[in-house]
Amino acid sequence: MRPWHVAVLAALALAPAAAHAHTVDAVGGYRVEIGWLNSPVVAGEANGIVLLVSPLDRDADLIDQGFNEGITGLRKTLKMQLVLGEQSVTLPLTVVQEVPGKYYAAVNPSESGYYQANVLGDIRGTPVNLSMHPPKVGDAGVLVFPPPDPAGDGPDLASEVAGLSSEIQELRGIVEGMGTGAPDASYAGIAAGAAGLGVAAIALARSRR
């Protein structure tokens, strides 16, 4: 078992049977509930889909009745298919021994967006084909703190201008060494103009960060 799977199992054992932002559905005489193990769920971080299966109380509201008297023995008869766009993966279920009727499928969602979780198979002879939708996987960038400073990347403007000025002086020396005729003077003017545009471009790029 991988180390982060052990961490997932530990979290599942300590977590309450039901959690906010879970999705609930029913099939036959059974209540099926899914949700992310860790919330908020963030792209690029190890997580898992929690699956809770219990008897359905037809006299109570589907959501309000909660999870109790979980159904065991479903690890081999049910499977979890996770879908994002045109991509899909089938995930094996792991039993949470401390909570009968509670299972999970470990996954590391690599992209943000809305995933679809298909619960497939059967529950004690009842065919299951449910398409459920856990909460959106968020972009990891929104939780970065403190945020990176774009202006802090690379050399500062003063350093870039100083380096360019040095190159301008060197270029002028080369041109002047070629003579003082009109053609060479025009080359010098072109070089100076190009250098000026370079300085302006650097300043504009920095101002837009």
pLDDT tens digits for range 20-33: 468 999 999 999 99
Q: Is the pLDDT of residue 10 over 50?
A: no
Residue 4 has pLDDT above 60, yes or no: no
- What is the structure's pLDDT at 22? 81
Q: Which residue has the higher pLDDT, 178 or 128?
A: 128
Phi/psi region, residue 73 (left: phi>0; alpha: psi -120 to 50; beta: rest), is left
pLDDT over 60 (residue 16):
no
**What's the whole-number mean pLDDT along residues 121-133?**
95
SS3 of the chain: helix, strand, coil, percent, to 5: 30, 30, 40
Using alpha carbons, list the distances in angstroms from residue 152 to 163, 206, 209.
18, 10, 10
- Which residues, listed in sequence order, are joined to residue 112 by a DSSP beta bridge? none
Distance from C-alpha of 172 to C-alpha of 35, rounded to nearest angstrom: 68
Of the listed ranges 9-13, 45-49, 158-162, the least confidently predicted one is: 9-13
Alpha carbons 147 and 144: distance in angstroms, whole number: 6
C-alpha 180: how far from chain center: 63
pLDDT at 61 over 70: yes
As its CATH architecture, domain 3-142 has Sandwich (2.60)
Task: Provide mean pLDDT across the span 191-201.
Answer: 54
The mean of the pLDDT values for the chain is 76
Residue 70 predicted with pLDDT over 90: yes
CB 110, CB 87: distance < 8 Å: no
Condensed to tens digits (0 to 9), the pLDDT of residues 149-159 reads 666 555 555 56
Q: Output the pTM of the full model.
A: 0.60
Supply the pLDDT for residue 6.
Answer: 41
pLDDT-derived band at 79, boundaries 50, 70, 90: very high
Range among 35-44, 161-170, 175-184 with highest mean pLDDT value: 35-44
Q: How confident is the model at residue 108 (pLDDT cuts 50, 70, 90)?
A: very high
pLDDT band at 39 (very low <50, low <70, confident <90, very high): confident
